Amino acid sequence: MQPRGVALLTVISKMDYHPVPMELTGKIGSLIGKKGGQVWSLKPAASVYDAIAMMAEKQVGALPVIDGEKLLGIVSERDYARKVILKGKSSKETPVSEIMSAPVFTITPSHTVGECMQMITDKRIRHLPVVEGGRVVSMISIGDLVNWVITEQQETINHLEAYVSGKHG
């Protein structure tokens, strides 16, 4: 029998090691609660120049294009680089509706972080509008998801360290 408080060390070869996939079950609604739900958007007739200026001012990489409350597309720095600069278009004369990415993949506050990371990876996108009741309530970026994972991992490490050191409550 193992004495209380003494841990066993087991050596496992690389062939025997099968990492358990991390479960990213946190809900996007929780992430929005920490991040905030501010949404900056553009109308379809706005110029690409105005879009880039707003992205710079708000320090974001993409903006939803909304007409009324209807989400029409997303315009991103990537759209600008590929569809304006490389094609020699004028950013002051080109409307965002001409270069926006559409249709848009959206999520709801009930989606999990894992589902969103999978969607971003599979679809090769960087931003997901969060839609609830037919309106965009937030935008989630790959950076938001990575920050959530890092924070959750650090909290887990802190709990485990407290447990191992006997400082758990």
Residue 58 placed within a domain? yes
User: Of the ranges 12-21, 63-72, 76-85, 136-145, which one carries the lowest mean pLDDT score?
Assistant: 12-21
> Rounded mean pLDDT of 27-45?
89
Residue 138 lies in a domain: yes
In a domain, 157, yes or no: yes
22 within some domain? no
pLDDT in tens, 90-147: 999 999 999 999 999 999 999 999 999 999 999 999 999 999 999 999 999 999 999 8
Nearest-angstrom CA–CA distance, 71 and 139:
12
Rg of the chain (C-alpha set): 22
Question: Model's pTM, two decimal places?
Answer: 0.76
Domain count, the chain: 1
Range of the domain at 71: 28-163
Q: What is the CATH number of the domain that holds 105?
A: 3.10.580.10
